[in-house]
């Protein structure tokens, strides 16, 4: 592919005895929004740090724009990072923080001022120029961190759980803003999160990571509807992983049917019933002991814990997956 | 109305916390403020014939400080204080910085190394230096053994010996205060600077140095002030060749029995050090405001 901007080739990295990355391969196109999704300790931050140059891989290559940058110092890479804790310089005000990268590159003062002003407009922080980081809210700090990174017009912007410290409402709002910003700037984003909802909302492609390898790389649709492994099915889609006749299937909870329909061929006892977030969740126990969760919108008073029902699912809704649960 | 109630409550709480602070205030008044006032008053009185003071106001003590002999002592002391502080920064800053970057295990070991000398008295440790510096002492023997020199160097009772003694005595304070601020530092800031295009040196100057400046400054204060007054170091390693303000004060107090003059010398020394510290603060502060370190 000639459009490939960034390529990770067989990256490995260990800290002491601990193998953190065990052969990472990824191709990212110009302008793409790629999310590395995984639980903590899966190696996603290490991958990001290797791309930024803050960590050196034990083996493998990082190729940016057809050039091998594996051994290049971080300051010489066309890549910028939005750090998890933002890492804003506490003794500089907003303006100085944002202008830091240009000042280091000895860009003329007038030019810096102009660019900082543009950035403040983009991240909607006009009027905050003279504030210090500790006089800003979490969301505002986050915007400063983004502005400070994108002012350098990097080829790739790396974001390490940038929304992790924000509350849910602000997080949702920032998700949309970030996505808009990315489209507007046309910069390639590599985004780290452990939140599958965030990943699905924002990404062009998602790389699901686990124990130092990518389990599956694909569009949100592919990952959500066609998980390749039971881990991906569970982690990304919260799907039921059901073992039947030596095969493993992923069935999404909203696709579990109850009573009446032709596919309802399993006897199941209602184990648990709960209502949260506008959704009713019913946990069934099949005769062989496996648990299956079904979800419905609204409440249903007719279902009682302990009673037996017939459940099932359409054949198309059961995706065969590789069983690799721990 | 509820507003008024609240302020009443707050006032009560304020009163309570004031009461709790009382011992602190008392301590400060009795042991810091009162002696200071006493010293300043003393410095304007006349010396009595044999011991003590006469209650007669005079400026004579201050006039006497302007005599070349005493002025010379002040400039000498200042010079030594600047020199030793500069040397202490050069050795102590890297030491504290690298100590903060070591693993927990090594941090403990280095801290131990730093603390062990404090288990013995400073006077005894300085006597160790005498053994090193004296004619045909450890250093002379070493240098002659290596054929770097063929006769004893007469290192003891020299300006250099006093300088080494000062550096040795005060270095730990610099190391510890640099260490404590480097230890608290958020190293991701350095990574951010590198990521934004700063080379190693620039990242150090624009981030690490700025973040550890408070530690460096308090280290300077902790070393500069004592180095103006540590008379026993000059006594032991300088003999009568190096006379610092501290020595003069001590001499006037003991041999000279001139309390008012000793007090006047102390006041001038205090004002001088305060001014210099204010200047340090100023330099550090304005730079911080303008972000000039980048």
Q: Are A137 and A63 spatial neighbours (Cβ–Cβ below 8 Å)?
A: no
* pLDDT given for residue B29 in this prediction: 92
Any chain B CB within 8 A of the CB of A96? yes
For chain A, what is the largest distance between any 2 Cα atoms, rounded to a whole number of angstroms?
75
Q: Which residues of B touch A53 (CB under 8 A)?
A: 194-195
- Do β-strands A67-68 and A59-64 pair in parallel, antiparallel, or remain unpaired? antiparallel
Q: Which residues of B touch A54 (CB under 8 A)?
A: 191, 194-195
Q: Is the pLDDT of residue A34 over 70?
A: yes
> How distant is the Cα of B196 from the closest Cα of chain A, in angstroms?
5
Q: Is B37 helix (H, G, I), strand (E, B) or coil?
A: helix
**Residue A298 CA: distances (Å) to CA of A50, A258, A276, A301, A313:** 46, 15, 10, 10, 20
Whether residue B82 is contained in a domain is answered as yes
Task: Please give the Cα distance from A189 to B280 (Å, whole number).
Answer: 45
Show the CA angle centred on residue A212, arms to residues A206 and A215, nearest 5°.
40
- Taking each helix axis from N to C end, the angle separating B68-100 and B209-229, rounded to the nearest 10 degrees, works out to 140
CATH number of residue B145's parent domain = 1.10.3720.10
**Residue A151 CA: distances (Å) to CA of A51, A72, A157, A236, B166:** 19, 21, 11, 33, 50
Is the Cβ pair A74, B195 closer than 8 Å?
yes
Whether residue B4 is contained in a domain is answered as no
CB nearest B196 (choices: A54, A85, A104)? A104
CB nearest B197 (choices: A54, A87, A101)? A101
Among the listed residues A316, A304, A229, A225, the one whose alpha carbon sits nearest the alpha carbon of residue A272? A304
Whether residue B186 is contained in a domain is answered as yes
* pLDDT tens, position by position, A6-27: 999 999 999 988 889 999 999 9
Closest-CA residue of chain B to A99: B196
Whether residue B42 is contained in a domain is answered as no
> How distant is the Cα of B23 from the closest Cα of chain A, in angstroms?
34
Whether residue B185 is contained in a domain is answered as yes
Spacing of C-alpha A210 from chain mean position: 13
In which order are the strands placed within the sheet that holds A247-251? A240-244, A247-251, A318-320
Q: Which residues of B touch A148 (CB under 8 A)?
A: 196
Task: Please give the Cα distance from A259 to A288 (Å, whole number).
Answer: 19
Q: What is the mean pLDDT of residues A258-263?
A: 73
Three-class HEC string of chain A: CCCEEEEEEEEEEEECCEEEEEEEEEEEECCCEEEEECCCCCCHHHHHHHHHCCCCCCEEEEEECCEECCCCCHHHCCEEEECCCCCCCCCCCHHHHHHHHHHHCCCCHHHHHHHHHHHHHHCCCCCCCCCCHHHCCHHHHHHHHHHHHHCCCCCEEEEECCCCCCCHHHHHHHHHHHHHHHHHHCCEEEEEECCHHHHHHHCCEEEEEECCEEEEEECHHHHHHCCCEHHHHHHHHCCEEEEECCEEEEECHHHCEECCCCCCCEEEEEEEEEEECCEEEEEEEECCCCEEEEEEECCCCCCCCCCEEEEECCHHHEEECECCCC
- Which range of residues forms the domain containing residue B109? 67-290
Is the Cβ pair A75, B186 closer than 8 Å?
no
Q: Where are the beta strands (DSSP E) in B96-167?
A: none
Tokens of B19: 């009461």
Instruction: List Cβ neighbours of A26 (8 Å cut-off, separation of 6 or more).
Output: A6, A7, A8, A34, A207, A214, A217
Task: Please give the Cα distance from A107 to A99 (Å, whole number).
Answer: 10
Q: Is B241 helix (H, G, I), strand (E, B) or coil?
A: coil
Q: How many domains does chain B have?
A: 1
* pLDDT given for residue B19 in this prediction: 82
DSSP B149: -
DSSP B116: G
Whether residue B43 is contained in a domain is answered as no
Whether residue B200 is contained in a domain is answered as yes
Tokens of A227: 């998980």
Set out the domains of chain A in order of their start, with CATH numbers.
Answer: 4-225 (3.40.50.300), 252-320 (2.40.50.140)
Any chain B CB within 8 A of the CB of A141? no
ipTM score: 0.84
Q: What is the mean pLDDT of residues A162-182?
A: 88
pLDDT category, A326, cuts 50, 70, 90? low
DSSP B155: -
Is the Cβ pair A83, B199 closer than 8 Å?
no
Closest-CA residue of chain B to A92: B291
Q: Is the pLDDT of residue A150 over 90?
A: yes
Instruction: List Cβ neighbours of B234 (8 Å cut-off, separation of 6 or more).
Output: B162, B242, B243, B244, B246, B247
- Do β-strands A156-160 and A188-193 pair in parallel, antiparallel, or remain unpaired? parallel
Reading chain B (294 residues) residue by residue, the pLDDT tens digits are 444 455 677 777 777 777 888 889 999 999 999 999 999 999 999 888 777 788 889 999 999 999 998 999 999 899 999 999 999 999 999 999 999 999 999 999 999 998 898 888 888 888 888 888 888 888 888 888 888 777 777 778 888 889 999 999 999 999 999 999 999 999 999 999 999 999 999 999 999 998 998 889 889 888 988 888 788 888 888 887 888 888 899 889 888 888 999 999 999 999 988 888 788 777 765 444 333 333
* B-proximal residues of A, 61-90, CB under 8 Å: 73-75, 79-81, 83, 85, 87-90
Residues recorded for chain A: 326
* pLDDT tens, position by position, A75-132: 999 999 999 999 999 999 999 999 999 999 999 999 999 999 999 998 889 999 999 9
Tokens of B94: 């890297």
Q: Which residues of B touch A89 (CB under 8 A)?
A: 189, 192-193, 207, 210
CB nearest B199 (choices: A75, A79, A103)? A75
Task: Please give the Cα distance from B86 to A319 (Å, whole number).
Answer: 72
Whether residue B37 is contained in a domain is answered as no
């Amino acid at each position: 592919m000639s459009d490939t901007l960034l390529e990770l080739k067989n990256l490995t990295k260990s800290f002491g005895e601990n193998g953190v990355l065990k052969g990472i391969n990824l191709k990212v196109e110009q302008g793409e929004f790629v999310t590395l999704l995984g639980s903590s300790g899966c190696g996603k931050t290490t991958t990001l740090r290797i791309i930024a140059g803050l960590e050196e891989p034990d083996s493998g290559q990082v190729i940016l724009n057809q050039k091998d940058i594996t051994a290049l110092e971080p300051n010489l890479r066309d890549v910028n990072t939005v750090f998890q804790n933002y890492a804003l310089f506490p003794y500089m005000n907003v303006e100085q923080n944002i202008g830091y990268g240009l000042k280091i590159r000895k860009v003329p003062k007038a030019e810096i001022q102009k660019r900082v002003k543009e950035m403040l407009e983009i991240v909607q922080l006009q009027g905050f120029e003279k504030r210090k980081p500790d006089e800003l809210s979490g969301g505002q700090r986050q915007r400063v961190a983004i502005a400070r990174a994108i002012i350098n017009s990097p080829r790739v912007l790396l974001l390490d759980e940038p929304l992790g410290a924000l509350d849910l409402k602000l997080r949702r709002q920032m998700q949309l803003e970030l996505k808009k910003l990315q489209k507007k700037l046309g910069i390639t984003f590599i985004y780290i999160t452990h939140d599958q909802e965030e990943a699905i909302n924002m990404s062009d492609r998602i790389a699901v990571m686990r124990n130092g390898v990518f389990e599956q790389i694909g569009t949100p649709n592919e990952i959500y509807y066609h998980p390749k492994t039971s881990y991906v099915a569970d982690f990304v889609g919260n799907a039921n992983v059901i073992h039947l006749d030596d095969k493993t299937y992923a069935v999404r909870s909203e696709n579990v049917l109850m009573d009446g329909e032709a596919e309802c061929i399993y006897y199941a006892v209602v184990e648990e019933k709960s209502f949260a977030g506008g959704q009713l969740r019913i946990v069934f126990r099949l005769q062989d002991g496996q648990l299956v969760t079904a979800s419905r919108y609204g409440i249903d008073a007719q279902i009682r814990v302990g009673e037996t029902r017939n459940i099932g699912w359409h054949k198309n809704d059961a995706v065969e997956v590789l069983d690799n649960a721990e | 109305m509820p507003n008024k109630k609240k302020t009443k409550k707050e006032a009560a709480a304020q009163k309570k916390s004031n009461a709790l602070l009382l011992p602190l205030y008392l301590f400060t008044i009795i042991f810091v403020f009162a002696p200071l006032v006493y010293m300043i008053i003393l410095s304007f009185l006349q010396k009595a014939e044999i011991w003590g003071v006469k209650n007669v106001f005079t400026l004579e003590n201050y006039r006497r400080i302007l005599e070349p002999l005493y002025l010379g002592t002040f400039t000498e002391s200042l010079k030594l204080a600047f020199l030793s502080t500069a040397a202490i920064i050069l050795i102590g800053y890297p030491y504290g910085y690298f100590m903060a970057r070591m693993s927990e295990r090594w941090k403990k070991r280095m801290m131990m190394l730093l603390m062990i000398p404090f288990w013995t008295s400073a006077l005894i440790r300085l006597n160790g230096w005498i053994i090193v510096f004296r004619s045909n002492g450890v250093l002379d023997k070493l240098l002659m053994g290596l054929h770097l020199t063929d006769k004893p160097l007469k290192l003891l009772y020299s300006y250099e010996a006093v300088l080494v003694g000062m550096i040795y005595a005060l270095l730990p304070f610099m190391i510890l205060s640099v260490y404590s601020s480097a230890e608290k530092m958020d190293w991701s800031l350095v990574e951010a600077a590198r990521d934004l295009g700063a080379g190693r040196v620039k990242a150090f100057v624009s981030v690490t140095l700025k973040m550890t400046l408070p530690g460096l400054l308090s280290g300077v204060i902790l070393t500069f002030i004592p180095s103006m007054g540590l008379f026993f170091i000059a006594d032991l390693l300088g003999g009568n060749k190096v006379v610092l303000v501290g020595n003069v004060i001590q001499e006037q107090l003991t041999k000279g029995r001139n309390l008012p003059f000793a007090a006047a010398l102390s006041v001038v020394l205090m004002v001088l050090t305060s001014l210099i510290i204010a200047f340090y603060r100023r330099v550090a502060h304005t730079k911080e405001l303008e972000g000039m370190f980048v």
